[in-house]
Copies of this chain bind each other. A is one copy, B any other.
Amino acid sequence: MPQQHKLEPVMTVEEVNALIAREFPQLNEMEEFYQAIEVFPGGCTVRLNATQRHLRPGGTVSGPALFTLADIGGYVCALSHGGPDALSVTTNLNINFVRKAEIGPIDGHCRILKLGKSLLVFDCDIVAGPDRQTVAHATGTFSIPPRK
């Protein structure tokens, strides 16, 4: 897969997690479940520590829990590469569910496909299980408001 050029993070993973914890009080209860674990040039990795509460009948992690992971992945891409002022919002998210995911760490490997003045486009490969197979794949767009 090609790397995008000239993309450099402007925040560390610790700064991103601290900002999310501060700005999203509703997420505080989710803090132990969803977190950024890596920020690198052109992308990031986010993790869902899936527990019983994320399951659907049949013992598989629910679609909304995986959607939330991909959405957070796009948000971390925007924050880490666009800066803490980037009050970006999701405008589109497309997700394919391809395998069952079980309890345990589920990682979203996110890649910035385009960081423009007003739009960020990213994709997210969500892997789980002992062999880290893809369980879902998402592509999304965030709208980035003009800087003040």
Contact = CB atoms under 8 A, between A and B. Distances in A.
This chain: copies in complex: 4
Interface of A: 1-2, 4-5, 23-24, 26, 53, 55-57, 62-64, 67-68, 71, 89-99, 109, 111, 113-114, 118-119, 121, 123, 125, 127, 131-134, 137, 139, 141, 143
Nearest to A90: B63
A67 B21 CA distance: 23
A125 B137 CA distance: 13
Contacts of A99: 114
A133 B26 CA distance: 26
Contact of A97 (B2, B5, B90): B90
B134 A57 contact: no
Contacts of A119: 91, 143
Contacts of A53: 26
Contact of A94 (B5, B63, B90, B92): B92
A123 B96 CA distance: 10
A6 B91 CA distance: 21
Nearest to A143: B119
Contacts of A97: 89-92
